[in-house]
Structure 1
Amino acid sequence: MKLNWGTSIVIAFVLFIGFIMVMVVQMMSSAELEHDLVVESYYQKELTFQEDLDSAQNAADLEQQVTVEVVSEGVQINFPSEFNVSEIDGEVYLYRPSDKALDFTVQLQLENREYLLPRSLMKLGLWEVNLKFNYKGEDYLIQKKIRI
């Protein structure tokens, strides 16, 4: 049997469509290829994006920086000595890229310039710490990736 060019084109299209369909079904049914949005309220977060940029710039402009570091007891946040801790109001949001079920938020309750998040609250792995606080009417945002 001899194939003409029209039949060859139809066979090529059918094979191509079949290949695409197999790839789509494979990607849709694979659990390891599941991709969720990074945050649930993506569009609401987008509306506050400029405010977050301004808050991050405020934090970068500080003479003494707020530090976020991993210590043996957990994650320690150190505020500059120029800050009066009674005027700081904020929260720490810990984001786990690999498992959104582990994400949590802690309200800042400062007694001194150091705040410690206990290691027992976090599983081993990569975390993103988002520290948002207000001091004397100015908003500040510090973001840092850490590994516990």
Structure 2
Amino acid sequence: MKFNWGTGIVIAIVAFISFILYFVITMSTDKSFTHDLVTDKYYQKELKFQDEIDAQQNASSLKENIKVTKVKEGLKVEFPEAFIPKDIQGKVFLYRPSNKHLDFEIPISISKTYLLVPEKRLVDGRWNMTVSWKYKNKEYLFKKELMY
């Protein structure tokens, strides 16, 4: 068999296609490369998006919104002082974008105007905090990105 330009081009194309197919198959079958959505039940959350927008507008219309401060014991989430603490119901959700196993949720049941998130639950790095609460049958939502 004589090796000419045509044969060389065919061999180069076949080698390139084989190289690409190797990486496609490796990436789709290897368990260390996950292709999950950001959150479970993504589409169900999308349907409730308008409720979130309304709750965020309710929170932004307050004279005083939630304040989040870093203290020695962890994160201090302070609610508006105009609210009666025992009437506040809801949850604080901390989402870790780099590791979903570190995500956690704390129910809001407070006797003072603040909630303390313990430091032992917080690993250094980026966190997305979502505080959704209800006060006198009105929904509120507060979102903040934190670097701890």
Normalising by the smaller structure, the TM-score range is 0.7 to 0.9
Question: RMSD of the TM alignment (CA)?
Answer: 2.1
2:86–2:109 CA contact under 8 A, matched in 1: no
Is the 8 Å Cα contact of residues 65 and 79 (structure 1) preserved in structure 2?
yes
State the Cα distance separating 1:8 from its structure 2 match: 6.0
- For 1:98, the equivalent position in structure 2 comes to 98
How many residues are treated as equivalent by the alignment? 146
1:109: which partner in 2?
A: 109
Partner of 1:74: 74
Say whether the 8 Å CA contact 1:70–1:146 is kept in structure 2: no
* Equivalent residue letter for 1:84: I
- Whole-angstrom distance in 1 between the partners of 2:51 and 2:8: 58
Q: Distance in 2 between the 1:64 and 1:82 partners? A: 8
Aligned to 1:86: 86
Cα distance between partner residues in 2 of 1:18 and 1:30? 22
AA aligned opposite 2:62: L
Query: Does residue 18 of structure 2 align to residue 23 of structure 1?
Result: no
Partner of residue 145, structure 2:
145
Give the secondary structure class of the aligned counterpart of 1:144.
strand
State the one-letter code of the partner of 2:59: A
* CA distance in structure 1 between the aligned counterparts of 2:72 and 2:147, rounded to whole angstroms: 12
Q: CA deviation at 1:25?
A: 3.0
- Residue 121 of structure 1: aligned partner: 121
Q: Which structure 2 segments of 5+ residues have no match?
A: none
**What displacement does 1:111 show?**
0.4
Superposed counterparts of 1:27-66, under 5 Å: 27-28=27-28, 29=30, 31=32, 33-66=33-66
**Contact 1:91/1:131 (<8 A) preserved:** yes
Instruction: Using the TM superposition, give the Cα deviation of residue 12 of structure 1 relative to its aligned residue in structure 2, in angstroms.
Output: 4.9
- TM-score of the two chains, using structure 1 as the length reference: 0.85
Q: Give 3-state SS (helix, strand or coil) of 2:18's partner.
A: helix
Give me the whole-angstrom Cα distance separating, in 2, the residues matched to 1:52 and 1:9.
57
Amino acid in structure 2 at the alignment position of 1:38:
V
Which residue identity is paired with 2:94?
L
TM-score using structure 2 length: 0.85
One-letter amino acid of the structure 2 residue matched with residue 132 of structure 1: S
Gaps of 5+ in 1: none
Cα distance in 2 between the residues matched to 1:25 and 1:104? 34
Shift of 1:116: 0.8
Q: Matches of 2:80 and 2:34 in 1, distance apart?
A: 42
